[in-house]
Chain A
Amino acid sequence: MHKHLVTLINLSPVLVRLSSNGGLGHHKPQRCDWLRAASCRKNQVFGICSTSLYPVSAVGRTLSRVQQAFTWSYGEEIKPFKPPLNDSEFHSYLNGQGQLTRPEELRLRIYHGGVEPSLRKVPSFLPTERMDYMKKKTREYEQLKREWTARVSHEELEFIRGNVLKDVLRTDRAHPYYAGSEDSPHLTALTDLLTTFAITHPQISYCQGMSDIASPILAVMDNEAHTFICFCGIMKRLEGNFRPDGQLMSIKFQHLKLLVQYSDSEFYSYLVSRGADDLFFCYRWLLLELKREFAFNDALRMLEVTWSSLPPDPPETEVELLGPLLEGDETTSFKDESVVNCLKGDEVQTEKQHRRHMLRPSREEPDMSRIPITEGRGAPTVGSSIEIKAVEYDTSEEIREKSNLQGYCCQKQTSFGEFEYYTAQSEGSLDMEDAEQPQGLMTLELINPRRQSTADSENDPGERTPLIRNCDYGLSPVSSHSVFTSGLPIWKTDSSSSPTSSPANSSWPVVTPDFPAMSTSSSAANGSETPQRTGKKVLNSSSPGISSPTANSVKTSVISPSHTQTRSFLSSPIQSFGGGSSLTGSRFSANNLPSPGNTSPSTKPNTPSSLKTDSTSTKPCSLPPPHEFGKGNPFMLFLCLSILLEHRDHIIKNNMDYNEIAMHFDRLVRRHNLSRVLQRAKTLFADYLQSEVWDSEEGDEVSSDSPTTAAPQSPSLTISARPIYRPLASPPLSPNSTYNLATTIPSPSAEVSLSPVS
């Protein structure tokens, strides 16, 4: 049995490399998330940042392997579901030493059929090395558990535990593992491990929904410590979901929205017409990665299939069981007195509470004096001033601190105002995203040099260096850049309290001297062209030359060695000087060029004047690339899409409004048909991967960089016979350069459609 773990742990990446969120590193050990946390490869260092420096050549190789895998798996027709992997079949993937010989095939196999339940669990015996590791981590966990009271006050512990327990007592209680008495050791184990996590990860603490994520793991593992280890591994990817600033969720919403828009424009238009295009009714889906949408056992299957599609993202050495401390606890984090002074006593108090992500009772008896009948309205203003103040203290040491502050500010505002700052065109800040620690907008602005590159053609590599350092904070060029490219429909914002945008705007000049450039770039999204965008205009004007050499070079670059070059460029800002401007520029054009009027890929591309496309209009678009799409879990987006499409006819036929749609899906909690959803999702996902319809910054990059790049890439022209672009659907497509180039190819464009099978 021990071989199972060994092999799963040593699964190496093929299938799943595509969706790597920063995981363009290679030859990492790969495993299911069930076992993700159990991995320890001391001899291999796979830092988040280090992946960005990964040799160029490997990237293209991986992608092509990935494509092969999916091509192989789908070919002309969709293969029927396979039965779950059973023990004997599993052994066929092993060699005599119990090592996995065909890891990528195994992953693919799991992707297609899941595994039998008996294969899910960590085996009870392991080779010595693994056994030692698990023992070590178990001891580590036990130690952390003993340190509860050393880390937090008794009162705090009670508070956290109370919150956890409240949810544990209502998590999957219908499942035999958790059924019965509230004294059940299983419930205690779940409570304890979640409490431990909250205490050891003060920046995240406990959030509702975590019990849903831990519950299936415990039910499978039946071992508290092992579950904790796995949970830590999974939370590394998902913790952003639970952060109070909601930025990661915002991006995921945006991606799902794009996908729906892209795949089924009719349904999307319907949703828009009913005001339901915010897709907020999918909140739980995204937050819990659909765990609660399926019956428990179906959810296990769904999870393992999903996990088999994930990019490898092993820990550097071993699973970190301890999260970063809450920096500068409580008010001490406000080192700047003026900031502190901005906060009235009450606000400081509130801020503490917000930072904990949990509402704590006030000490005092509720009475009239505690009721801030009037003072509450000042909050956004206070928030704004904090933001602006924060800008003035731009040292890297304070970044995290400010991000806390910012998180607070964002939260104090409302709802999803910050959504508007994100576009789904987020480019691959491959090196950044693993951290998945969303930052406040301002912080992003402050420390992200790439935004400068939007306007400046010259980038000092030296200035970029801090980016790498900031990886730890999950600061992503994506976000900061996209702040200025709101070429996508804007999310609902709360006009009554939208300090999100105004402070951000007002602070630009403070943040950086190139504010004017950025500001114009921003306005360019709304139609005005600026001198700063000259470079982009060059790009744009070259793009229309569908059959021009430039275009060809772009097209081929997607799959040629040059592609890998640009990949590595993407993943390593340090290496990207000189290319940054064109990259962002091209992205810019990709964001803004699309207009509803130019729906066909064969349509002559827009001239720069099409930049005047209203940023809020519904427009065709491309999709983010797999490593970006869904922020680490692109397949889940396709599961969500599939669920939506399963019901789209019903929804449209019954003319459901926003609430009715929400209720419709609420009624389907734990009741979705997994087989149908999986089948459809896999088909759509394969179409997406094969079509390479995602944003190709690489292509844009190359073309804009220099037309001469076409020459060195000429060998790849042979490959170009392969379809690079196939529209996922009939809906309007954005005529960015990728698409334009695609039209030079003997068009396979009608082959695949994402349209729902009705």
Chain B
Amino acid sequence: MEDYDYLFKIVLIGNAGVGKTCLVRRFTQGLFPPGQGATIGVDFMIKTVEINGEKVKLQIWDTAGQERFRSITQSYYRSANALILTYDITCEDSFRCLPEWLKEIEQYANNQVVTILVGNKIDLADKREVLRQRAEDFAQAQSMLYLETSAKESDNVEKLFLDLACELIREAKQNKLDNNDTAPMPGEGKTISYLNCCSLN
């Protein structure tokens, strides 16, 4: 009855102040709202996009970056179809924390989650601290997609979410083929029960 073909949950994670909320607002509202308070807990946004004639509803969960809120944000990982792991290209620290975040993902996300690494704030090119090549190498080593964005200039923001949606559709279809409809599939608006990530490996 809902007007979409696919429903995906996307969770943004990454250090505080790297621009997660701005990415989401830019994408969902076309805004770049500076001076917005730090995200406390988790915020929700929804945007429906059309890809190849199919309506894709994206549920975007924008999480607080600080460690303090991890206990809350973690609870949202598990049902996520995709994670946008964000760092700030002008902030070396935010890049260095990526392993910690991957550990989080490993521990709390479902093991089929699609993860994309995003280096935000490319509008501040002169302050760049993390070279693109370095980030790409890192992403590749971790089997992550990689993209650099500017929420402020709206660079690659649409692309980020649309690419992700395409990837999720692809995976969903693949999943459907693989499982021959025996397993619930992400993206069909059903409740998806993933295997307990911690019981694996």
Contacts and interface: CB of A to CB of B under 8 A. Distances in A.
B142 to A, nearest CB: 6
Contacts of A280: 41-42, 72
Given A283-B41, A374-B201, A367 B66 contact: no
Contact of A414 (B15, B36, B75, B106): B75
B142 A371 contact: yes
B201 to A, nearest CB: 5
Interface string A92-125: 0000000000000000000000000000000000
A326 interface: no
A175 to B, nearest CB: 10
Nearest to A171: B37
A88 interface: no
A77 to B, nearest CB: 38
Contacts of A660: 46
B128 interface: no
B41 A377 contact: no
A73 to B, nearest CB: 33
A656 B100 CA distance: 35
A416 interface: yes
Interface in B52-72: 59, 64-72
A297 interface: no
A84 to B, nearest CB: 26
Contact of A415 (B39, B64, B71): B71
A170 B96 contact: no
A128 B107 CA distance: 59
A284 B40 contact: yes
B34 A377 contact: no
Interface in A414-435: 414-416
B75 A416 contact: yes
B31 to A, nearest CB: 13
A356 interface: yes
Contacts of B40: 208-209, 212, 283-284, 287-288, 292
B189 to A, nearest CB: 11
A642 to B, nearest CB: 20
Given A367-B138, A371-B99, A357 B41 contact: no
A215 to B, nearest CB: 9
A456 B28 CA distance: 59
A539 to B, nearest CB: 37
Contact of A170 (B34, B67, B102, B197): B34
A659 B68 contact: no
B103 interface: yes
Given A359-B66, A371-B102, A666 B15 contact: no
B34 A166 contact: no
Nearest to B18: A166
A281 B43 CA distance: 8
Contact of A367 (B70, B93, B97, B141): B141
Interface residues of B, number: 54
B42 A361 contact: no
A358 B66 contact: yes
B66 A208 contact: yes
A291 to B, nearest CB: 9
B108 interface: yes
A280 B70 CA distance: 14
Contacts of B36: 170
Interface stretch (A49-57, A488-496, A606-614, A624-632): A488-496
Interface in B113-146: 138, 141-142
Nearest to A283: B41
A366 B95 contact: yes
Interface in A254-312: 280-281, 283-284, 287-288, 292
Given A354-B67, A357-B67, A415-B71, A292 B37 contact: yes
Contacts of B142: 368, 371
B106 A376 contact: yes
B162 interface: no
A368 B141 contact: yes
Interface in B81-108: 92-104, 106-108
Contact of A208 (B68, B96, B197): B68
Contacts of A373: 106
Contacts of A413: 71
A411 interface: yes
Given A292-B37, A496-B199, A362 B74 contact: no
Given A211-B38, A358-B66, A371-B102, A494 B75 contact: yes
A413 B70 CA distance: 10
A160 to B, nearest CB: 12
B44 A666 contact: yes
Contact of A283 (B72, B98, B101, B104): B72
A292 B64 CA distance: 15
Contacts of B41: 280, 283-284, 287
B75 A415 contact: yes
A370 B101 CA distance: 11
Find the residue from A162, A207, A356 having the highest chain B CB count within 10 A: A207
Contact of A497 (B16, B97, B107): B107
A12 B102 CA distance: 53
Contacts of A380: 198
A496 B196 contact: yes
A162 B198 CA distance: 34
A78 interface: no
B149 to A, nearest CB: 19
A471 B145 CA distance: 51
A305 to B, nearest CB: 22
Contacts of B66: 163, 207-208, 357-359
A246 B197 CA distance: 24
Nearest to B41: A283
B166 interface: no
A86 B41 CA distance: 38
Interface string A517-531: 000000000000000
B64 A208 contact: yes
B38 A209 contact: yes
Contacts of B45: 663, 666
A85 to B, nearest CB: 29
Contacts of A244: 67-68, 71
A704 to B, nearest CB: 38
Contacts of B70: 411
A2 interface: no
Contacts of B98: 366
Contacts of A209: 38, 40
Contacts of A353: 67, 100
B16 A663 contact: no
B138 A366 contact: yes
A414 B71 contact: yes
B78 interface: yes
B44 A170 contact: no
A349 B96 CA distance: 14
Nearest to B64: A208
14 contacts: A208-B40, A208-B68, A209-B40, A284-B41, A358-B68, A361-B94, A367-B141, A374-B201, A377-B198, A414-B75, A415-B71, A415-B74, A494-B75, A496-B196
Which 8 residue pairs across A and B have the least CB separation, nearest first? A361-B96, A415-B75, A173-B35, A283-B41, A166-B17, A284-B40, A496-B198, A370-B99
Interface of A: 159, 162-163, 166-167, 169-174, 207-209, 211-212, 242, 244, 246, 280-281, 283-284, 287-288, 292, 350, 353-354, 356-362, 365-368, 370-374, 376-377, 379-380, 410-411, 413-416, 492, 494-497, 659-660, 662-663, 666
Given A208-B38, A377-B200, 5 more contacts: A170-B36, A212-B37, A280-B42, A414-B75, A496-B199
